[in-house]
Amino acid sequence: LIASFKSISDESPDRKRTRVAAAESKEFTCKSGHVWTTAVPSATQTRSHSVVCEMSAVLRIASDAFKLFITPAMVNLIAQKTNKKAEQVHGEWNEKHPNAIRSWKAIDEEVYAFIGLLLIAGVYKSSDESVSELWSLNNGRPIFR
């Protein structure tokens, strides 16, 4: 019975480097919990089961794309909770001020507009602008007027 023995010195130089690098690799953990390693990632091809093969659809209407992220169920829930809170606040106001009674018109589709305006404010990086500046007729952004 003859056994085949292959020493590391018989291997190609690239293979030696890989073994040495793997043996000497170290891991470091950041405060955030992210793990960094000194090992070089493998240069293998992505496995076929990891590749998405579905055809993507082109959304021609912005509202269709918007409704993929903000679903009608989410909007209904926001509208229900907003209407409930507004009715409570208006009820308390009307009890304290019987001579100046206020009423609340229930909202539904307005929630889409409000969320859209919040997104536009984010696109324009308006976080440092006050609401009165955004809606100002003189200095506000044209899209908010």
Count other C-beta atoms under 10 Å from residue 26's C-beta: 8
Q: In terms of Cα–Cα distance, which of 112, 115, 121 is closest to 144?
A: 121
Whether the CB-CB separation of 102 and 87 falls below 8 Å is answered with: no
Average pLDDT of span 86-106: 91
Quick check: is 1 in a domain?
Answer: no
Same domain, 24 and 68: no
Q: Taking the complete model, does pTM exceed 0.75, yes or no?
A: no
Task: Confirm whether 28 is domain-assigned.
Answer: yes
Residues 80 and 137 in one domain: yes
Does 136 reside within a domain? yes
| Domain span at 136 | 62-144
How many domains does the chain fold into? 2
pLDDT-based confidence at 55, cuts 50/70/90? low
Residues 22 and 76 in one domain: no
Q: Based on the fold, state whether residues 77 and 122 are members of the same structural domain.
A: yes
Residue 111 belongs to some domain of the structure: yes
Q: Give the residue with greater pLDDT, 73 vs 25.
A: 73
